[in-house]
Structure 1
Amino acid sequence: MSWTDNKIKEEAQKDPNFMTWFEEETNKLDIAVTMTDLRVDLGLTQREFAEKAGKQQSVIARIESGKMTPSFKMINEIATAVGKKPTLTFN
């Protein structure tokens, strides 16, 4: 088990709410990375991506930094604007 895994386990034992918080933050990070990867794969700056998606650049920046969790509606709007289709998976 890695140091990180041990630390997560240790924190979870101390605080019963830790794993809920940790999973929410992990989900935010997954969305942030996926949105950033999409933009980079399209070869667009945040400003260009925002213009294509009909959003403000600051909104894209907040999504990519994990400070904002977009609704599925917003994810769909952004994806559609750049010719993509979002998919949802459960693990």
Structure 2
Amino acid sequence: MKEKESLLAKDAFAEWRLDPAYVVAYNELEEEFALAEALIRARAEASMTQEDVAKAMGTTQAAIARLESGRSMPSTRTLQRFAEATGTKLRIRFEKPKSSRSTS
């Protein structure tokens, strides 16, 4: 069932990416989506459900769903607890922003 849901989400995302307005809005929220994607990927690679992660962190499934939604920025401590729960290591890095203009 999870694999089917994952495929449906991927298909929907691929379709949405064809809409220029969606692409602009998505790019404006790139950091939030990147964090959400990293959280979801860590959980999936650990073969854990949101409920599993919640139990390991001592919180609720709803709290994990909020973390993975990308609508809020969690504390570093929360991210560290999520990493520990999923058997991963938290890494934070700084990057120069991507420019839409050429600098040549």
Q: Distance in 2 between matches of 1:67 and 1:58?
A: 13
Structure 1 residue 84: deviation in Å? 2.1
1:26-74 CA-to-partner distances (Å, cap 9, x unmatched) read 1111111000001111111111111112221111101111122211111
Structure 1 residue ranges, 4+ long, deviating more than 4 angstroms after superposition: none
Which of 7, 28, 32 is matched with 2:32 structurally?
28
Match of 2:68 among 59, 64, 69: 64
TM-score (norm 1): 0.68
CA RMSD between the two structures: 2.6
Aligned pairs, how many?
Answer: 76
| Aligned residue identity for 2:79 | I
In structure 1, C-alpha distance between the alignment counterparts of 2:34 and 2:84, rounded to whole Å: 19
Report whether the alignment pairs 1:81 with 2:85.
yes
Distance (Å, rounded) in 2 between the aligned partners of 1:75 and 1:52? 13
- TM-score norm. by structure 2 comes to 0.60
53, 57, 68: which one aligns with 1:53: 57
Any conservation in 2 of the 1:46–1:61 contact (CA below 8 Å)?
yes
